[in-house]
Amino acid sequence: MLNLSVVHAQFAVSRLDAFLPVPNWALEEGTFFSITRTKDELSIVCEETKVPAGVKSEKGWCALKVEGPLDFSLTGILSSLASPLAAASISIFAISTYDTDYLLIKKGDFEKALSVLGQFCKILR
């Protein structure tokens, strides 16, 4: 059985041009942030209160952390969470780190997601 914990903050997923430097607001201390740069974009996930006005963002995300650390040899963890959520028409934004995975879920779907995942995961609030 997987253990999931609620991350107590609301998040924004922001998009900046790929060539821009990582802004200081993205690096401010907080509960969680993730920065990914590709040749096409600079994506930043952080607490929504940190994002300045005018930045292209999708706000209103809640997060669940898969309690880890998870061994790299484990397979299907993200799929086992994403599949039942997809079947319930709940969209996710997934982020993986060295130790674990995080699921971002829109605030309006969060309680429904907890109910769906609570059928086979222990949810730590």
pLDDT band at 13; cut points 50, 70, 90: very high
Smallest Cα–Cα separation from 88: which of 116, 65, 111? 116
Q: What is the pTM of this model?
A: 0.92
Could you give all domains of the chain from N- to C-terminal order, each with its CATH number? 2-124 (3.30.2130.10)
Alpha-carbon dihedral sign for residues 9, 84, 74, 1: positive
Q: How many residues does the chain have?
A: 125
Residue-wise pLDDT tens digits, 37-82? 999 999 999 999 999 999 999 999 999 999 988 888 878 899 999 9
pLDDT of residue 96: 95
pLDDT of residue 31: 82
